Chain A
Amino acid sequence: MATYSLTTPLTSEDTKKLVAGDTVLLNGTIFTARDAAHSRLVALIEKGEELPFDLEGSIIYFVGPTPPKPGDPIGSAGPTTSYRMDSFSPTMLKNGSKGMIGKGNRNQEVKDACVKYDGIYFGATGGAGALLGKQIISAEVIAYPELGPEAVRKITVKDFPVTVVNDTQGNDLYQVGREQYEVKG
């Protein structure tokens, strides 16, 4: 298992070298979107309308942060459970996005889309919101402010720690890890 430092936007060259279990420190701009925002973004894609940000090479972070304390760019900001975005993620990957950050299992369609479109599903540590929020150095709401914590934010991250869960070869870290420690009988 290797450790990489990558800066967004990502290319297929970046994502294809990553293997499930690798640690990545992410830098640069990423975009936040969760349930309600995904529903709206995918509706725009299906209608052929312009999105509030460029999907090409983008990483989408499934997060709804707490409000920032005075002087901070953002509050606590750990990942939310990803399966709720399973019906939207293949469309996002098909249209140029190269990765997602969340927690928990993805369905087969998402894993297949990672293989087909050179996408990566990264896991961040759920419930480590205070720790992860400190790796975000700027944040700005760029769409859907009426959704509150679910608004789309453009954030800048520095050495944001994630683990490769689903890679471009179809590997799944959760499956492998669990099989290793399961006690049958």
Chain B
Amino acid sequence: MREIEFDVVVKAVKDMIMHCGTDLPQDTYDALEKAMEEEKSPVSKEVIRQLLENANIAKDEKRPLCQDTGLAVFFVYVGEEVRINGGLLRDAINQGTEQGYTEGYLRASTCEPFSRLNLKDTVGYNLPAIIHFDIVKGDKIDIEYAAKGGGSENVSRAKVFPPAAGKDGIVAYVKEVISDAGGNPCPPITVGVGIGGTFEKAVISSKHALFRDLETENEDPEMAELEARMLIEINNLGIGAMGMGGTKTALAVHIEANPCHIASLPVSVNVQCHSSRHTHITI
């Protein structure tokens, strides 16, 4: 059984968070550059130009890309032959989150649901992190991280359809969700679509779909085709960058599909803003 020191995990998580807060991932930067070239509306083109300039300033001066530095969301894959020495893995991830958000001058955005009091002085600075664990083969730990902002999260939705809804029903639903969202989730967006599974499986899949690099193709040709169809439908809405009107409302649609119950067709749509801050590390 391989052992990893608690502090090694804390440091790895902290570094990921600080880097992601100021350095837009290359896949996102490249996708925005391409969108700027292809955008037909001069107003939206100018908005995307500002976003690229913002990314350059943030990287050069180590300033947060956006004031909404998100809730810290993790997907963690723990090998069966590895254990943490000196504490619980969950605690190490939370500690790394607190250190990364504090030392990176990122925002503490967690609060109580009704009093709305910030949790930075009680539970911890931007704690608790949202962590999804899975057990896998091997002696390594894979940690995927994304900073998930509130504006794009607020427009996300899920629904369990009857099986007869099929692809046409799902495409119409995704289009409806993005149309209603308009400029609120900070387009050009990435759209994560979770299909199948149970209700919660669809939702978690739609979140995880947002972690996929923007330049990668879906491994399933049927889903890749459905993604392409949805992307065209979404960009036909005309929402444009920040809702100003334009041809580039979404940079990509990512689908994760799962087997489901014979009675159900669950669908979840989770949206990520243009500042798609995501990264991963293997320890």
B63 and A178 within 8 A (CB): no
A178 and B245 within 8 A (CB): yes
Task: Find chain A residues with CB under 8 A from B274 CB.
Answer: 127
Q: Interface-forming stretch among A2-10, A48-56, A69-77?
A: A69-77
Task: Find chain A residues with CB under 8 A from B133 CB.
Answer: none
CB contact list, A132-185 vs B, under 8 A: 133-134, 146-150, 163, 173-174, 176-184
Q: A130-B58, A148-B108 are in contact. Are A178 and B64 (CB under 8 A)?
A: no
CB contact list, A112-143 vs B, under 8 A: 123, 125-131, 133-134
B186 and A178 within 8 A (CB): no
Any A CB within 8 A of the CB of B215? no
B107 and A149 within 8 A (CB): yes
Q: Which of B51, B62, B105, B245 contacts A181 (CB 8 A)?
A: B245
Task: Find chain A residues with CB under 8 A from B108 CB.
Answer: 148-149
What is the CA–CA distance of A133 and B63 in the complex, to the nearest angstrom?
Answer: 9
B245 and A127 within 8 A (CB): no
Q: Interface-forming stretch among A11-19, A60-68, A90-98?
A: A60-68
Any A CB within 8 A of the CB of B190? no
B50 and A128 within 8 A (CB): yes
Any B CB within 8 A of the CB of A36? yes
Task: Find chain B residues with CB under 8 A from A36 CB.
Answer: 116
- Tell me, rounded to whole Å, the shortest Cβ–Cβ distance linking B83 to chain A: 36
Q: A125-B50, A129-B54, A181-B247 are in contact. Are A75 and B237 (CB under 8 A)?
A: no
A125 and B106 within 8 A (CB): no
- For chain B, the bracket of interface size reads 35 or more
Any B CB within 8 A of the CB of A57? no
Residue of chain A at shortest CB distance from B119: A148
Task: Find chain B residues with CB under 8 A from A65 CB.
Answer: 67, 107
What is the CA–CA distance of A68 and B243 in the complex, to the nearest angstrom?
Answer: 29
Most buried by B among A76, A131, A173: A76
Any A CB within 8 A of the CB of B236? yes
Q: Which of A64, A126, A173 contacts B273 (CB 8 A)?
A: A126
B67 and A174 within 8 A (CB): no
- Tell me, rounded to whole Å, the shortest Cβ–Cβ distance linking A149 to chain B: 5
Residue of chain B at shortest CB distance from A67: B105
Task: Find chain A residues with CB under 8 A from B58 CB.
Answer: 76, 129-130
Any B CB within 8 A of the CB of A88? no
A64 and B67 within 8 A (CB): yes
Any B CB within 8 A of the CB of A87? no
A103 and B63 within 8 A (CB): no
Q: Which of A69, A131, A181 contacts B50 (CB 8 A)?
A: A131
- Tell me, rounded to whole Å, the shortest Cβ–Cβ distance linking B61 to chain A: 7
Task: Find chain A residues with CB under 8 A from B51 CB.
Answer: 125, 127-128
Task: Find chain B residues with CB under 8 A from A131 CB.
Answer: 50, 53-54, 57
A80 and B68 within 8 A (CB): yes
B66 and A148 within 8 A (CB): no
Any A CB within 8 A of the CB of B154? yes
Any B CB within 8 A of the CB of A105? yes
Any A CB within 8 A of the CB of B96? no
Residue of chain A at shortest CB distance from B118: A148
Q: A127-B275, A129-B65 are in contact. Are A66 and B237 (CB under 8 A)?
A: no
A76 and B245 within 8 A (CB): no
Most buried by B among A36, A68, A125: A125
Q: A67-B107, A127-B51 are in contact. Are A174 and B238 (CB under 8 A)?
A: no
Residue of chain B at shortest CB distance from A126: B186
Residue of chain B at shortest CB distance from A161: B50
Residue of chain B at shortest CB distance from A175: B245
CB contact list, B239-283 vs A, under 8 A: 239-240, 242-247, 273-275
Any A CB within 8 A of the CB of B11? no
What is the CA–CA distance of A177 and B47 in the complex, to the nearest angstrom?
Answer: 13
Which 6 A-B pairs have CB atoms at the shortest separation, nearest pair first? A177-B245, A182-B238, A181-B238, A183-B236, A104-B184, A148-B118
Give 11 A-B contacts (CB < 8 Å), ordered by A residue. Answer: A66-B67, A67-B105, A76-B64, A80-B68, A125-B51, A125-B54, A127-B273, A127-B275, A177-B43, A177-B245, A177-B246
